[in-house]
Amino acid sequence: MGGFLRSSLQQVFVFAALIAIYIFFMIFAPNFAQPNIALDIIQQSAYIGVMALGATFVIATGGIDLSSGTGMTLVAVMAGIFMAGDWLNLPTGLGIPLVIAFGAFMGLLNGLNISVLGLPPFIATLAMMMVARGLSLIISGASSITIANPQYKFIASGQIIPGVANAILIFAVLAVVAWVLLNKTLLGRYALAIGSNEEATRLSGVNVKLWKTLVYVTAGIFVAFGAILYSGRFGFVQPAEGVGFELNVIAAVVIGGTSLAGGRANIVGTVVGALIMETLKKGLQMMGIAQEWQLVVTGIVVLIAVFVDILRRKRATAV
């Protein structure tokens, strides 16, 4: 009961922070109060938010994934290889499953390196980050790939509901899927158990290596969806992009209340965390703040979120 109450209070606190930041920019940022800004923020945050949903499971185990940014770029490059007219030009119905499968394969490699080879998550995913970046440049010839497939672009930029981009709907649906996975399935239960006490979980008969690998496969699938939303929105892929995106992903998860120490995760908080990140970015841009100062503000917000997490863990331990 106490844990549920703390989780609820955390969600209220994070959501209140989002509202406060939004109101601040409505007052001080020119044109921020326009009705279309809110939808634009959600659409802009969709690809980072979707990847953050997957990263929530990884961080819940006490792990980390530094490969999500460049991994997203590599998956987007492969989407171009599968569906661009100058490459394989596969139909969308075949190309999309291949893209998702490729993301899952990347997650599988991360999971096997960590679970079977015993590499620290930081090192394993750092290596994958560099491999993904290199392969993106090699496969694409260091040139942008245009994906002119109208059906592919419609996935992210189309509007099944008039005035609402499909990327927003996909973000919402995947958030519900992630919530169910975390709270109603063995995947979520064991991810949290591993993060709380991996040795005790192993001694209780759980195949920790298997479930930890599945957690990284899940994260890879969400990275693939993020790649689809990102490349589908613009209709092209820049193979040199993606560096640094993983920091935004991790920041969204941490701001949302998932503990870096593992054992506690919050899907709703992750969604709000992604919105906070994009609201800060959008508001600071509209205030005319230089990009380097935007990074400073974002870094401070992340530090505050981590500090709050540390205080919360100390208080829980004391109790």
pLDDT at position 306: 80
pLDDT in tens, 86-109: 888 899 999 999 999 999 999 999
User: What band does 167 get if pLDDT is binned at 50, 70 and 90?
Assistant: very high
Task: Tell whether 38 is covered by a domain.
Answer: no
**Distance from C-alpha of 310 to C-alpha of 303, rounded to nearest angstrom:** 11
**Distance from C-alpha of 272 to C-alpha of 81, rounded to nearest angstrom:** 34
- Flag the least confident range among 14-23, 132-141, 259-268, 287-296: 287-296
Structural domain span for residue 101: 43-242+259-268
Using alpha carbons, list the distances in angstroms from residue 156 to 44, 145, 270. 11, 17, 21
Task: Tell whether 254 is covered by a domain.
Answer: no
User: Is 4's pLDDT higher than 90?
Assistant: no
User: What band does 41 get if pLDDT is binned at 50, 70 and 90?
Assistant: very high
Task: Tell whether 2 is covered by a domain.
Answer: no
pLDDT at position 1: 47
Could you tell me if residue 238 is left (phi over 0), alpha (psi between -120 and 50 degrees) or otherwise beta?
beta
Task: Evaluate the CA torsion angle 173, 179, 184, 186 in order and state its sign.
Answer: positive
Buried b (16+ CB within 10 A) or exposed e, 167-198: bbebbeebbeebbebbeeeebbbbbbbbbbeb
Are the C-beta atoms of 84 and 146 separated by less than 8 Å?
A: yes
User: Is 58's pLDDT higher than 70?
Assistant: yes
DSSP β-bridge partners for residue 146: 236
Across 189-205, average pLDDT: 96
Total number of domains in the chain:
1
**Whole-number percent of the chain with pLDDT over 70:** 96
Are the C-beta atoms of 242 and 73 separated by less than 8 Å?
A: yes
pLDDT at position 33: 86
pTM for the complete prediction?
Answer: 0.94
Q: What is the DSSP string of 247-312?
A: HHHHHHHHHTT--TTSS---HHHHHHHHHHHHHHHHHHHHTT--HHHHHHHHHHHHHHHHHHHHHH
Task: Tell whether 193 is covered by a domain.
Answer: yes
pLDDT at position 6: 59
Q: What is the dihedral of CA 265, 181, 217, 149, to 10 degrees?
A: -110
Question: SS3 of 236, please?
Answer: strand
Task: Tell whether 77 is covered by a domain.
Answer: yes
Task: Tell whether 18 is covered by a domain.
Answer: no
Across 234-245, average pLDDT: 88
The stretches of 32-116 forming alpha helices (DSSP H) are 35-60, 68-83, 92-115
DSSP β-bridge partners for residue 236: 146
User: What band does 233 get if pLDDT is binned at 50, 70 and 90?
Assistant: confident
Task: Tell whether 9 is covered by a domain.
Answer: no
**Distance from C-alpha of 6 to C-alpha of 24, rounded to nearest angstrom:** 27
User: What band does 7 get if pLDDT is binned at 50, 70 and 90?
Assistant: low
